Amino acid sequence: MTTHAAERRDQFKKDVGGLDLDTGKSGSDAKVRITGLALMIVGTAAAFITYISSLTQADLRNIASYQILATAFLALTVIGAALYLAGAVSKVLRLWLVRQLLEGQAHTDQIAEALKG
């Protein structure tokens, strides 16, 4: 990482600290991402186990039941992926919004200085 990027990050942190925002860490985003990750792992593993179990069956009704169960576990995996993605995107959007706020405030300050002078 370059020194310029480190300086910009330090300046950004200082500016955010000066905004007096409610910076309570959004623990819900982390919880949602962890829950999503857990659902993806459980859903994928359970679908694979269900598939392996279905290989021992000869009756088509039993095989169809296993297919339905495997599909439900795959749906659980998709739900987990959606939760994980939602948590990650909300974190990025929150950072982007603060950055936009700081840039808007800087532009307003520049206009005010130009009007004074």
Domain count, the chain: 1
The pLDDT assigned to 1 comes to 56
The Cα 13–Cα 99 span in angstroms is 10
Taking CB atoms within 8 Å and a gap of at least 24, the contacts of 46-53 are 46/73, 46/76, 47/73, 47/74, 47/77
Residue 18 lies in a domain: no
The pLDDT assigned to 15 comes to 72
Give yes or no for a contact between 77 and 43, defined as CB atoms under 8 angstroms apart. Answer: yes
80 contacts: CB under 8 Å, gap ≥ 6: 35, 36, 37, 38, 39, 40, 41, 42, 43
Which residues constitute the domain of residue 62?
A: 28-116
Per-residue confidence in pLDDT tens, the chain, 117 aa: 577 777 777 777 777 666 666 655 567 888 999 999 999 999 999 999 999 999 999 999 999 999 999 999 999 999 999 999 999 999 889 889 988 988 888 889 889 888 886
Nearest Cα residue to 19 out of 116, 117, 103: 103
Residue 61 lies in a domain: yes
Residue 34 lies in a domain: yes
Residue 9 lies in a domain: no
Residue 12 lies in a domain: no
Residue 79 lies in a domain: yes
The pLDDT assigned to 109 comes to 86
Residue 63 lies in a domain: yes
The pLDDT assigned to 20 comes to 62
